[in-house]
Amino acid sequence: MASGFGYDGPLVLERSSAFMSETTPVRLIGMSGSLRTGSYSNAVLATLRDHFAGRAELELYDLAPIPLYNQDFEGEKRPPAVKKMLADIAAADGLVFCAPEFNHSIPGVLKNAIDWASRPAFQSVLAYKPCAIMATSRGPLGGARCLEHMKVALDSCLARIALAREVIITAAESRVRDGRLVDETCLGFASGAVEALISEIRLWRATAAKA
């Protein structure tokens, strides 16, 4: 079937981890798009890393070395830091995005990483990759627009956002202390999204193992 998007073959869902046991920790990559020292979004990811230790290995990914996207440098011409990021995403079972709202959207740093990771379109390392999404804001009302824009961008890459209650951590300044999310309610929502992600990954492993 010709898709009109440069993709004419059957979709092949590759999961190298498909035959791992139920108890094998899932490998997750966490990305925020905040490069700020003391970032609340990174604090949420660090808290989730601690919370799920033993069940999931959540690596907080540093996006600082990722250059600005340039379509002149696709495929083999990708910069080394981008090649590494794509390989790391491909090797991970899932992604956890926790982004601060910037100008009613997602931070450019994160969008830039998604743009690199989204190529080739519909066959990229993001295609069918299970994800959890959450947003932070210092204000009392922010975050929702960031979450929506993250959904839209990830949908366009065919990423699979695990169904969960929406996670929007408002007034983040008051809920983070010493680099960790200390608000139990917010942690409940955030860990619920990661639980849903882990369930989806395990379901996928079990299905693929039977196939």
Ligand X SMILES: Cc1cc2nc3c(=O)[nH]c(=O)nc-3n(C[C@H](O)[C@H](O)[C@H](O)COP(=O)(O)O)c2cc1C
* 47 sits near ligand X (criterion: CB under 6 A): no
Crossing angle (nearest 10°) for helices 80-91 and 108-117: 80
Q: What is the residue whose two structure tokens read 């990229």?
A: 124
Closest distance between ligand X and the C-beta of residue 190, in Å? 14
Smallest separation (angstroms) from ligand X to the CB of 41: 3
What is the per-residue binding string for ligand X in 162-191, x denoting contact by CB under 6 A? ----------x-------------------
Q: Where are the beta strands (DSSP E) in the chain?
A: 26-31, 56-60, 94-100, 130-136, 160-161, 168-169, 176-177, 180-181
CB of 32 to ligand X, least distance (A): 6
Backbone angles phi, psi at 122, to 5 degrees: 70, -5
| Binding test (CB under 6 A) with ligand X, winner from 39, 47, 124, 191 | 39
Q: CB-side exposure of 24: number of CA atoms within 13 Å?
A: 15
Give me the residue whose beta carbon is nearest to ligand X.
142
Q: What is the nearest approach in angstroms of ligand X to the Cβ of residue 106? A: 10
The CA dihedral of 152, 92, 94, 106, to the nearest 10 degrees, is -40
Q: Does 30 bind ligand X (CB under 6 A)?
A: no
Kindly state the smallest distance separating residue 105's Cβ from ligand X, in Å: 7
φ and ψ of 85, to 5 deg: -60, -40
List 142, 149, 153, 200, residue binding ligand X (CB under 6 A): 142
Using rule CB under 6 A, residue 136 touches ligand X? yes
DSSP string, 146-206: HHHHHHHHHHHTT-EEPP----EE-SHHHHEETTEE--HHHHHHHHHHHHHHHHHHHHHHH
- Is residue 100 part of the contact set for ligand X (CB under 6 A)? yes
93 vs 101 by CB, closer to ligand X:
101
Q: Work out how close the CB of 173 gets to ligand X at its nearest, in angstroms, rounded to a whole number.
A: 7
Q: Using the 8-state DSSP alphabet, how is residue 53 labeled?
A: T
Give the residue with the Cβ less far from ligand X, 49 or 119. 49
- Name the site residues for ligand X (rule: CB under 6 A): 32, 34, 36, 39-41, 100-104, 136-139, 142, 172
